[in-house]
């Protein structure tokens, strides 16, 4: 259906009615997001066509290269904060040399993919939701449908592939920059030699930590893209609706990253 009008729901008169309506709407939105993801996966059969490849590469550049600046700053200071706070406590037991292990394991398992996911949700997810929402309210999506161009294949699939590829790469970069930041703090403020820091950082971290962190990053990239695209396609009420959809996309992505990150950690480490 091309015409998209805002839906009207009569106001509930009691708490039970409001709770029930909210629950049904949440389940409906979740189902629509899942169907959008499945449709994007099905559209990947066209991934090797020239136009699709070009669009995917463009989105990888936008999502990845243009986010390196803020990711670098956040990653460095995340590692520095982890090293400083851990080192202050370990110094009480004359074990500050072990800050390398704490920083490396923390960055690989949690902080690397987590911080990358939050940054991309704020920077990239909001941009996707605003772009698609603007296309919806300006009837560009309707124009694509009239021309028999599938909006999911044209808009969602390239962004999903680009995010699934770039998010683990950016998460690994975040981990390495965090370790470097921790090493700087260790050598300049805690008296830990760089060689000792790196030796402890690499001694206890294993491939499982790296694999779980990168797996989380892929999931976060998929979540950010699907949530942002879904909110964009659900936009109504003009410019006000675009702002509302953007805010809702960022909030939903943040919450999903926190929840999914916890359950993945519990699945692999408990």
Please name which of 127, 132, 138 lies closest in space to residue 152, comparing C-alpha atoms.
Answer: 132
Residue 131: is it exposed, middle or buried by C-beta count within 10 angstroms (0-12/13-18/19+)?
A: middle
Domain presence at residue 148: yes
3 lies in some domain: no
- Please indicate, yes or no, if residue 24 is contained in any of the structural domains: no
pLDDT at 42 over 90: yes
The closest of 110, 102, 108 to 207, measured between CA atoms, is 108
Q: Provide the CB-side half-sphere exposure for 111 (13 A, CA).
A: 24
- Report the alpha-carbon distance of residue 234 to residue 249 in Å, rounded: 11
Share of the chain above pLDDT 90, in %: 60
Q: What is the number of other CB atoms lying within 10 angstroms of the CB of residue 153? A: 20
Residue 205 pLDDT class (50, 70, 90 cuts): confident
Region 76-100: mean pLDDT is 89
pLDDT band at 40 (very low <50, low <70, confident <90, very high): very high
- Direct distance between the N- and C-terminal alpha carbons of the chain, in angstroms, rounded to an integer: 47
pTM: 0.89
Measured between alpha carbons, how far is 115 from 78 in angstroms, rounded to an integer? 9
Residue 62 lies in a domain: no
Q: What are phi and psi of 234, to 5 degrees?
A: -90, 5
Is position 19 within any domain? no
48 in any annotated domain = no
Q: How many CB atoms lie within 10 A of CB 157?
A: 26
At residue 10, the pLDDT reads 66
Question: What does the alpha-carbon distance between residue 164 and residue 169 come to, in Å, rounded to a whole number?
Answer: 9
- Please report the pLDDT score of residue 23 as a whole number: 81
Report whether pLDDT(9) > 70.
Answer: no
Would 103 be classed as within a structural domain?
A: yes
Q: Is residue 160 part of a domain?
A: yes
Q: Count structural domains, the chain.
A: 1
Which among 28-37, 46-55, 170-179 has the top mean pLDDT?
A: 170-179
Boundaries of domain holding 97: 70-269
Q: And the tokens for 42?
A: 């099905």
d(CA 270, CA 265): 8
% of the chain surpassing 70 pLDDT: 96
Confidence of residue 253 (pLDDT cuts 50, 70, 90): very high
């Amino acid at each position: 259906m091309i015409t998209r009008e805002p839906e009207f729901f009569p106001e509930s008169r009691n708490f039970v009615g409001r709770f029930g309506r909210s629950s049904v709407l949440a389940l409906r939105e979740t189902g629509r997001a899942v169907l959008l993801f499945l449709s994007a996966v099905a559209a990947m059969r066209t991934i090797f066509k020239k136009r699709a490849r070009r669009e995917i590469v463009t989105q990888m550049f936008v999502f990845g290269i243009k986010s390196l600046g803020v990711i670098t700053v956040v990653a460095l200071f995340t590692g520095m904060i982890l090293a400083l706070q851990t080192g202050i406590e370990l110094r009480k037991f004359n074990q500050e040399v072990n800050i390398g292990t704490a920083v490396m394991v923390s960055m690989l398992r949690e902080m690397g993919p987590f911080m990358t996911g939050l940054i991309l949700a704020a920077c990239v997810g909001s941009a996707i939701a605003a772009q698609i929402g603007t296309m919806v309210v300006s009837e560009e999506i309707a124009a694509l449908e009239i021309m028999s161009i599938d909006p999911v294949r044209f808009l969602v699939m390239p962004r999903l592939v680009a995010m699934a590829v770039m998010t683990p790469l950016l998460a690994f970069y975040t981990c390495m920059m965090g370790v470097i930041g921790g090493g700087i703090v260790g050598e300049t403020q805690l008296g830990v030699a760089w060689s000792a820091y790196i030796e402890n950082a690499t001694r206890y971290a294993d491939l499982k930590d790296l694999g779980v962190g990168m797996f989380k990053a892929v999931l976060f990239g998929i979540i950010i893209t699907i949530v942002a695209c879904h909110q964009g396609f659900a936009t109504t009420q003009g410019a006000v609706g675009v702002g509302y959809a953007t805010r809702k996309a960022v909030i939903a992505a943040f919450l999903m990253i926190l929840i999914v990150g916890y359950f993945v950690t519990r699945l692999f480490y408990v």
